[in-house]
């Protein structure tokens, strides 16, 4: 079974971006405006993956064990394989704006 690849697409008139599963060579149309969507790029992680979230800062968190980034919808860290605690509800403990912290 093939897992659909997800793409970032843009509505030309508004610049609004949407993420949806798509198959190459098929034209997709925005539901609201009826406009043809411009394909901006593939969304990481590439299919197949156990995560449904795009690889973006707002969807990532730090593994409490190895401190590597992992998608928030994963229960087990993809780096060290250990079970991660529930999603941190106090993001200030891991500020995204300090990428050079050690
Ligand atoms: Zn880990």
Q: What is the pLDDT of residue 96?
A: 55
Question: pTM for this structure?
Answer: 0.39
Tokens of 58: 């707002």
**Mean pLDDT computed over 53-72:** 83
CA of 84 to the centre of ligand 1 (A): 7
With respect to residue 20, please indicate whether it lies within any of the assigned structural domains: yes
CA of 44 to the centre of ligand 1 (A): 19
Tokens of 1: 């079974």
**What does the alpha-carbon distance between residue 87 and residue 75 come to, in Å, rounded to a whole number?**
9
**What does the alpha-carbon distance between residue 52 and residue 6 come to, in Å, rounded to a whole number?**
9
56 is in which domain, residue-wise? 50-97
Ligand 1 is an ion; its neighbours by CB within 5 Å are 63, 65-66, 77, 79-80
With respect to residue 102, please indicate whether it lies within any of the assigned structural domains: no
Does residue 50 have a pLDDT over 80? Answer: no
Does residue 1 have a pLDDT over 60? Answer: no
In the chain, the number of structural domains is 2
**What does the alpha-carbon distance between residue 38 and residue 25 come to, in Å, rounded to a whole number?**
12
Does residue 65 have a pLDDT over 60? Answer: yes
With respect to residue 1, please indicate whether it lies within any of the assigned structural domains: no
- Residue % of the chain over a pLDDT of 70: 73
Does residue 94 have a pLDDT over 70? Answer: no
CA of 3 to the centre of ligand 1 (A): 25
CA of 13 to the centre of ligand 1 (A): 42
């Amino acid at each position: 079974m093939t897992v659909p690849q997800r793409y970032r697409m843009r509505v030309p008139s508004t610049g609004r971006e949407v993420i949806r599963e798509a198959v190459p060579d098929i034209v997709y149309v925005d539901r609201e405006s009826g406009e043809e969507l411009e394909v901006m790029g593939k969304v990481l992680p590439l299919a197949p993956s156990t995560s449904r979230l795009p690889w973006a800062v707002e969807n990532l968190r730090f593994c409490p064990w190895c401190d590597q980034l992992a998608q928030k919808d994963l229960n087990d860290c993809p780096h060290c394989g250990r079970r991660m605690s529930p999603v941190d509800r106090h993001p200030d403990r891991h500020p995204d704006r300090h990428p050079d912290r050690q």
